[in-house]
Amino acid sequence: MATTQTSDRGNWNSKLGFILAAAGSAVGLGNIWGYPTQVADNGGAAFILVYLVCCILVGLPVMIAEITIGRKTGKNPVGAFKALDKTGYAHLIGYWGVLCGFMILAFYLVISGWTLAYVFEEIFRFTGNAGYAAWFGDLTNGPKNAAFTVIFLLLTISIINGGVSNGIERATKFLMPVLLFILVIMIFYVLRLEGSAEGIRQYLKPDFSLINIDLTLSAMGQAFFSLSLGMGALITYGSYLKRDQNIVESATYVTVTDITIAFTAGMLVIPAMYVALAQGITIFGDDGELISSVSLVFTVLPQLFENIGGALGLTISISFFLLLALAALTSAISLLEVPVSYMIDEHNMRRKNASWVIGGSIGVVAVIISFDINLIDYFVYIFNEIGLPLGGLMLCLFLGWVWKTENAVVEIKHGFENADNSVFVKLWRIFIKYICPVLIAIVFITTVLDIIRS
Ligand code: PHE
C-alpha cells in the first residue's frame, strides 16, 4: 500500500506555485466577506489595529511553524504531529485540526454557494425578472441553498481530485491574479461615488474606546481564519513543499498578501456601504449595529450595483460575485485537502475515494446548515473563533516545548542557509515558545472570565 501513499501525495511544481496556492488558501471569504463585516461590526479602524497586531505577532509566527512542521514530516496534520511526538498525545492536535477543517468547510460551502447564486440573482435582476432574482437572492431558501452548496462542493472535489500540482496549483496560478485585478478595478469605481469619502473616514479613523475583549477575540479568530491557520491547512500545503524553498520568506509573502487583500477589500466594501447610505439605503439598525452581519455583503452591495445601473452595473456586480466565488474556491480546496490528505496518508486511501467520502460527509452537514443558516453563527464561534486559536495555541506549545525550536530551525535552514544568524528567526523562536501562547491564552482566559461574569 505504500506505493499508493507516495503516488497520491505530490509536490508543488514551482516556487511560485506554493506561494500562490497558500495565498489562494488564505485569501477567501474571510477577506472579502468576513473581514469587512467584522470591521463594520466592531467599530472600524479600532478592529483593524487589533487585527493587524494578531496577524503579525501571532499569525505570521504560527504560519512559519505550520509550514515547517509540514515540510519536515511530509505528512497530514495527524501524521505530522505523530511523527514528531514524544508525549503520545500530540496527534490529538492533528485530529482537532481535521475536525475544525471539516466543520468550517461545511458552513464555508453554504456561503460560497450564495456567491454563485448571486451571479444569477444579479443577471435576473438586471434583466427585469424580479421574481427569479428574489428566488436566487433569498438567503433563507433551504432547497436553493442546498443546491448551490452541492454545486460548489462538486467544483471543490473536482479540483482536489486533480491532485497537488495538476489541480490545486494550476487553478490558483490562474485565479489569484484575476481576483486582484477585478478587486482593484472595482475600488477605482466605488471611490468616485458620493458617500465613499465618509466610508474611508470610518474605515481609517480608530476609536480606541471600542477595543475590548469581544473585539480582541473576534480579531484573533479572524486572523487565524483569514491566514488559514490553526487547523493544519498549511501543515498540509507545507508537506508538498520542496526543500529548496525559504519558508520564512514564503510565509511572509503569504501573510502580507492576505493582509493586503483584506485591507483592499475593506477599501471596497466599507465605502460601498456608505455610498449605499448616501443613496438612502439603510445599513445600520436603530441600535447602531449593522443590520445583519452574515448577509451584509449580499444585501448592501447589490443595491449599490443597481444604483450604478445598466450594462456597467451588471458587469461590476457579476465580476464581484464571481471574484468572491473564485476566492472561496481556492480556500475551500485547502480546507478539503486537510481531511483528504489525512485519509490518503493514514488510511491508505486513494485520492479520488478520499475526496468523495470526505466531501460527501461534509456535504451532509453543509446541506443541514443550508436549511438553517442561523447555525453559521454557532459554527463560526466554536470552530473558528475558539477552535482555530486553540489549535494554534497547542501547536505553539508543541513546537516550543516538545519538538523544540532548535529542531525546527534545522528544517528552516533548508532554503534559508543563514537561518541560524537571522534576527528574525531568533525572534520567531521566542515568539513561538513564549509570546504567541501567552497572547492566545490571555485572550481565552479573559473571554472565559467574561462569560462567567455575565
Ligand atoms: N483563509 C480562508 C479565508 O479567508 C478560510 C480558511 C480557513 C481556509 C482555514 C483554510 C483554513 O476565507
Residues in a beta bridge with 290: 284
Q: What's the confidence (pLDDT) of residue 349?
A: 95
Model confidence at 2, pLDDT cuts 50, 70, 90, reads very low
Q: Does residue 259 line the site of ligand 1, with CB under 6 A?
A: no
How many whole angstroms from 223 Cα to the centroid of ligand 1?
A: 10
d(C-alpha 166, C-alpha 163), whole Å: 6
Rounded to two decimals, the pTM is 0.92
Residue in the block written with cell 491574479: 177
Among 1-5, 155-159, 196-200, 362-366, the range of highest mean pLDDT? 362-366
Q: What's the confidence (pLDDT) of residue 322?
A: 86
Grid cell digits, residue 196: 465613499
d(C-alpha 347, C-alpha 341), whole Å: 10
In this predicted structure, the answer to whether residue 11 has a pLDDT above a threshold of 80 is no
How many whole angstroms from 28 Cα to the centroid of ligand 1?
A: 6
Residue in the block written with cell 458552513: 107
For range 377-395, the mean pLDDT: 93
The CB-side HSE value for 446 (13 A sphere, CA atoms) comes to 14
**Minimum-distance ligand 1 atom for the alpha carbon of 31:** 4
Do 121 and 137 contact (CB within 8 A), yes or no? yes
In this predicted structure, the answer to whether residue 7 has a pLDDT above a threshold of 60 is no
Q: What's the confidence (pLDDT) of residue 3?
A: 35
Do 37 and 299 contact (CB within 8 A), yes or no? no
Q: What's the confidence (pLDDT) of residue 398?
A: 98
Residue having the nearest C-alpha atom to atom 6 of ligand 1: 228
Choosing from 115, 228, 260, 340 the residue with most ligand 1 atoms within 8 A of its CB, the one to mutate for a pocket test is 228
Percent of the chain at pLDDT above 90?
Answer: 62
For range 34-41, the mean pLDDT: 88
For range 249-267, the mean pLDDT: 93
Q: What's the confidence (pLDDT) of residue 5?
A: 38
Q: Which of 28-37, 40-49, 284-293, 407-416 is the least confident region? A: 284-293
Q: Does residue 335 line the site of ligand 1, with CB under 6 A?
A: yes
The helix/strand/coil state of 330 is helix
Q: Does residue 298 line the site of ligand 1, with CB under 6 A?
A: no
DSSP code, position 229: -
Average pLDDT, the chain: 90
d(C-alpha 281, C-alpha 273), whole Å: 9
168-178 pLDDT, tens digit each: 777 767 776 77
For range 22-48, the mean pLDDT: 89
75-123 pLDDT, tens digit each: 999 999 999 999 999 999 999 999 999 999 999 999 999 999 999 999 9
Buried b vs exposed e over 358-375: b needs ≥16 C-beta within 10 Å? bbeebbebbbebbeebeb
Do 75 and 59 contact (CB within 8 A), yes or no? no
For range 402-419, the mean pLDDT: 96
Q: What's the confidence (pLDDT) of residue 6?
A: 43
Choosing from 76, 236, 335, 336 the residue with most ligand 1 atoms within 8 A of its CB, the one to mutate for a pocket test is 335
Q: What's the confidence (pLDDT) of residue 167?
A: 67
**Minimum-distance ligand 1 atom for the alpha carbon of 327:** 12
DSSP 212-227: -HHHHHHHHHHHHHHT
Do 111 and 376 contact (CB within 8 A), yes or no? yes
Given its phi and psi angles, is residue 348 left (phi above 0), alpha (psi -120 to 50 degrees) or beta?
A: left
Residue having the nearest C-alpha atom to atom 7 of ligand 1: 228
How many whole angstroms from 251 Cα to the centroid of ligand 1?
A: 15
**Radius of gyration of the chain from Cα atoms?**
21
Model confidence at 180, pLDDT cuts 50, 70, 90, reads confident
Question: Closest Cα partner for 432 from 413, 452, 404?
Answer: 404
Buried b vs exposed e over 298-324: b needs ≥16 C-beta within 10 Å? bbbbbbbbbebeeeebbebbbbbbbbb
Q: Does residue 228 line the site of ligand 1, with CB under 6 A?
A: yes
Q: Which of 145-159, 259-273, 365-379 is the least confident region? A: 259-273
In this predicted structure, the answer to whether residue 319 has a pLDDT above a threshold of 90 is no
**Minimum-distance ligand 1 atom for the alpha carbon of 328:** 12
Q: Which of 142-156, 175-189, 205-219, 375-389 is the least confident region? A: 175-189
Q: Does residue 25 line the site of ligand 1, with CB under 6 A?
A: yes
Q: Does residue 319 line the site of ligand 1, with CB under 6 A?
A: no
Q: What's the confidence (pLDDT) of residue 17?
A: 80
Do 331 and 320 contact (CB within 8 A), yes or no? no
